[in-house]
Structure 1
């Protein structure tokens, strides 16, 4: 691991810690423990981050014992802003829908955000005090991808049609999804694009991810998903993220395969999760066998009891 890789890990985990400041202390401790475990061998650990004033130790008492946890400092936040945001392009998606189909938009948003893709839903992301028309114009202007959820309700909404028109004019990537066969062919300026049929119970991940991978080859959204896998805290979360990564096992680079192996072998929540142990990790090994270091392969196989 070179210095650039080490700095990247520090940046990634500080960014996670920044988000965590809005959450619970247990997760804050978890993140710092992961950071220490990952970087101890390379002399970058908690003491290093305290010395650089990126994090600050805090104390709390649970009634029996005093515990230490850590929060990110203002200097740490500045470090993130000056490095991650300037050096990492984040794709932006505008999800257009009639309010009746809001729940479907929310599912799509959750699916894409696990890949590090920023999504905008007007009803969720616009505060009451904002001038919402101007915010919609701004989000449409900033969007790299437009996802309309086509239905009779969509056609009946004057706002949805105008959003689609603006996005067409900008000539950004369209990923039309249709809730019924009648609306599978987009209308108006969208009519030359073929829509994919979905239901509220079945939104195939490849309908969303494949066009993005094909159209933005320089932005590695699979690496973003692996970053999310690094922070897994529960069995179901591990299974969900592995399920998202599974269709792309054969597209991972040697470095990405190595990272998935390292993450999986050091996190009980991954290698012991039912579907990861029985299904995802055996398939991952089968697909990437030749890319995995022999000792690491042996360790992972033993952990999941692969014969």
Structure 2
């Protein structure tokens, strides 16, 4: 099956990101070896203005060769390449939310479940095994599906994490999928590849504070920031109590600004959800946000569509004579 433009763009973009990463080892000589393997023109060894670059040389690469090259550059086997192209089944994820996999030790599933509840009001669906899964489906299959379709990965390192084979497999999957990754230390430092960076500590913090640490990171990821805003609107729209509505409204009010379409969507949500227009907490958060940006508060009702004027009937209009009641004109005698 031929690749779509979106799929070709995605594959090329990921290859360029990998090649541009200085730590990946893709210098000009190695890039030329790759290009030669596919019968493509090589790059100049020293940069000069106007010389073609790697993206120019692969612009018209046939789909089959593009898939092969993608696998070579990212070190993926055939099945992993196919998984990168296929649109993943979103399974049990909440529509419109950021899809974030929360890797954790089973000993702390209740705590992580409360973290996920706090993330939900920020527009993030935190996948927590045993909480998000459907009981009628094989649990391992659901975890693998969530790992395939996640948009971000967070590991919460409690002391038991490093001794869990399942946690290590989830981390390995995340490293291989190259989704944005984040780690929080909850009493223990991570081991293995993810232990090479200095990660923040959340030891002793309550679930809300841990969720705040995670959501603050998500907001800084360019690919996820815009989706997180959409998730916030979705969370506000579906809020079924004024406490959750107030928490989500406060996070929306912390944004710098909104586009015209986003303002209009927020107006519609305010009017439609009685937990917002009837709740003190969401109104307390949104009122200064609206006023600060010169928006009418509260959002006024939608103006009704003007009734269309009836089409005039020339035969019944009072402005003209009834053509059937015109007096006959006397004809002159002959």
Query: TM-score normalised by the shorter chain: which range applies?
Result: 0.5 to 0.7
Q: Residue 191 of structure 2 is aligned with which of 165, 187, 190?
A: 187
1:228 corresponds in structure 2 to 235
1:153 corresponds in structure 2 to 160
Structure with more of its chain in strand, by fraction? 1
Give the conservation status (yes or no) of the 8 Å contact 2:118–2:207.
no
Pick closer, same or farther for the CA change 1:107–1:196 going to 2, 3 Å: farther
Tell me the C-alpha RMSD between the 2 structures. Answer: 3.1
Structure with more of its chain in helix, by fraction? 1
Q: Residue 172 of structure 2 is aligned with which of 155, 165, 172?
A: 165
Q: Matched residues in 1 for 2:134 and 2:96: separation? A: 25
TM (norm. structure 1) is 0.55
SS of the counterpart of 1:195? coil
2:84 corresponds in structure 1 to none
Pick closer, same or farther for the CA change 1:270–1:143 going to 2, 3 Å: closer
Give the conservation status (yes or no) of the 8 Å contact 2:121–2:247.
no
Q: State how 1:178-217 maps to structure 2 within 5 Å.
A: 178-180=185-187, 182-183=188-189, 186-198=190-202, 199-203=205-209, 205-213=211-219, 214-216=221-223
2:118 corresponds in structure 1 to 111
Give the conservation status (yes or no) of the 8 Å contact 1:140–1:163.
yes
TM (norm. structure 2) is 0.51
Give the conservation status (yes or no) of the 8 Å contact 1:140–1:167.
yes
Pick closer, same or farther for the CA change 1:281–1:115 going to 2, 3 Å: closer
How far did 1:150 drift? 0.7
How far did 1:280 drift? 0.7
Q: Matched residues in 2 for 1:300 and 1:231: separation? A: 19
Pick closer, same or farther for the CA change 1:171–1:264 going to 2, 3 Å: same
Kindly provide the CA deviation profile for residues 253-302 of structure 1, in whole angstroms up to 9, marking residues without a partner as x: 2321233234335655324423334x41233124422xx2xxx33x459x
Pick closer, same or farther for the CA change 1:233–1:218 going to 2, 3 Å: closer
Kindly provide the CA deviation profile for residues 135-168 of structure 1, in whole angstroms up to 9, marking residues without a partner as x: 4333323322111111111122222122212212
Is the aligned partner of 1:258 residue 2:264? yes
Give the conservation status (yes or no) of the 8 Å contact 2:155–2:182.
yes
SS of the counterpart of 2:155? strand
Structure number with greater CO (CA < 8 Å, separation at least 6) is 2
Kindly provide the CA deviation profile for residues 158-186 of structure 1, in whole angstroms up to 9, marking residues without a partner as x: 22122212212222211212223x43xx3
Q: Matched residues in 1 for 2:207 and 2:225: separation? A: 32
Larger Rg: 2
1:78 corresponds in structure 2 to none
Pick closer, same or farther for the CA change 1:179–1:229 going to 2, 3 Å: same
Q: Matched residues in 2 for 1:145 and 1:231: separation? A: 23
Q: State how 1:8-19 maps to structure 2 within 5 Å.
A: none
How far did 1:98 drift? 0.8
Give the conservation status (yes or no) of the 8 Å contact 2:96–2:231.
no
1:280 corresponds in structure 2 to 285
Question: Unmatched 5+ residue regions in structure 2?
Answer: 1-94, 301-334
Q: Matched residues in 1 for 2:194 and 2:241: separation? A: 41
Kindly provide the CA deviation profile for residues 97-116 of structure 1, in whole angstroms up to 9, marking residues without a partner as x: 11121122212322344455
1:73 corresponds in structure 2 to none
How far did 1:225 drift? 1.9
Q: Matched residues in 1 for 2:169 and 2:226: separation? A: 29
Q: Matched residues in 1 for 2:282 and 2:132: separation? A: 33
SS of the counterpart of 2:131? helix
Give the conservation status (yes or no) of the 8 Å contact 2:121–2:248.
yes
